[in-house]
Amino acid sequence: MKIKLLLLSLIAKKILNGILGMIMQALHVNSIVSVASVNWKSSIKTGSKADAWVSYNSTTKNLSVFLTYAENPEFGDWVEIHNILSWTFESSLDVSDKKKTGLVVGLAVGIGVLTTFGIGVLCFVLCWRKNRTCRDKDNEAIDVSMDDEFEKGTGPKRFTYRELIRATNNFAEGGKLEEGGFGGVYKGLLNEGTNTEVAVKRVSRGSKQGKKEYVSEVKIISRLRHRNLVQLIGWCHERGELLLVYEFMLNGSLDSHLFGGQVMLVWNLRYKIALSLASALLYLHEEWEQCVVHRDIKSSNVMLDSNFNAKLGDFGLARLVDHELGSQTTVLAGTMGYLAPECVKTGKASRESDVYSFGVVALEITCGRRPVETRQEPSKVRLAEWVWNLYGEGQLLDAVDKMLCTDFDERQTECLTIVGLWCCHPDYTLRPSIRQVINVLNFEAPLPTLPSKLPVPMY
């Protein structure tokens, strides 16, 4: 039962002949009708003091206490004198302390949560602003590094992000030409009155070296001019994107024809491609104002235009060195299978290591095989080792791509294969320069005599 009203009344009671004899104490609960009563043992006439009390037990913990008296007593001629000598109210429950404790705990928890949330929001905002500032500074640094090229008008054009979004149809998957560790390459159409077809490289945001390679490529390739180098048309770095725009190469990459099921390359085209690649390297190593070490020569970076002219691309790992300097110590970079042994061992890249990579590509062109094929029998897993063994056995032509059947020039085939082995010599001091390679391929110099067995690398 929920108690809303608890009343204790003191009533003077008639005993005999209308004489007031005693006082009755009554208890009322939610009603004027008493639920219990008791007579005081002392008579009202004696004037002695009497005590009254009420014990209250409830889980509501809510009791309001007040005192009042009736103005019109029922005893007509008699007069009552109400005199409360003292009264007290006591409780055995420490209600106020618990409420205070609960309130304090609640406030403490609430303030703690709000404080933590506030700190979290503040940290997020500060980190966001810091990252944005860093991105802005990086972009500014890129801009500064390119100022000279653009002011002189010798650098590629700067495109807006909106232009390249429109050109590639928002980087549609259907227009993707290639996907690699660096990101994707998409076909695009520049609507500048000429409807120029381009290839747009979108550097992956997850690429650890993406920004460094992006800057390197623009700074280096934008200054190079050669018929056997892929032309960089423009660039863009907006909204956290790093984009490079190249001339579109209709026939894709060399590896797609050697291994990917594209149009099979006849021998004349293969030999022409090898000479074109050598010509590009000669320009990089000896003919430009500085020596350019490409560091990533491989068949997938050799692009073919509409006439199957070869052009070397992807200068993201390229480095500039003085012509007088030798090997340059750097972080190991490149593609396994094309890396010279000394690069793997020491981390040094040089013109000689580029020549080694060229030799691997030359063997790919002749043999129609990748540098490493793990499914082959042990003696044939590594291309250079397998071909060198055939050379020592006097059966070099057995290495020729079976897709060519007998439709190839034996003299050119022997020449290109031996030059490929020469370039892949484990000792970099015994490799030819790229100029020597061109002289031999043009039959302006004799073929070298190589050891019958693949030499052991010496460092």
Active site residues: 296
Distance CA(187)–CA(177), nearest Å, equals 6
How far apart, in whole angstroms, are the C-alpha atoms of residue 281 and residue 290? 13
- What lies within 8 Å, CB to CB, of 284 at 6+ separation is 224, 291, 292, 293, 294, 354
Other C-beta atoms closer than 10 Å to the C-beta of 90 total 5
Strands (E), 5-82: 6-16, 19-29, 34-43
- Contact assessment for residue 250 and residue 171, using Cβ atoms and an 8 Å cutoff: no
Sign of CA pseudo-dihedral 177, 314, 337, 382: positive
Helix (H) or strand (E) holding 199: strand 196-203
Burial of 85 (0-12, 13-18, 19+ CB in 10 A): exposed
Report how far residue 218's alpha carbon sits from residue 149's, in angstroms, rounded to the nearest whole number.
Answer: 10
Angstrom distance (rounded) from CA 260 to CA 249:
16
Alpha-carbon span 46 to 18, nearest angstrom:
17
CB 273 within 8 A of CB 298: no
Residues with Cβ < 8 Å from 342, sequence gap 6 or more? 327, 348, 352, 353, 428, 457, 459
Our measurement of the distance from residue 459's CA atom to the centroid of its chain's CA atoms, rounded to an integer in Å, reads 39
Query: How long, in residues, is the chain?
Result: 459
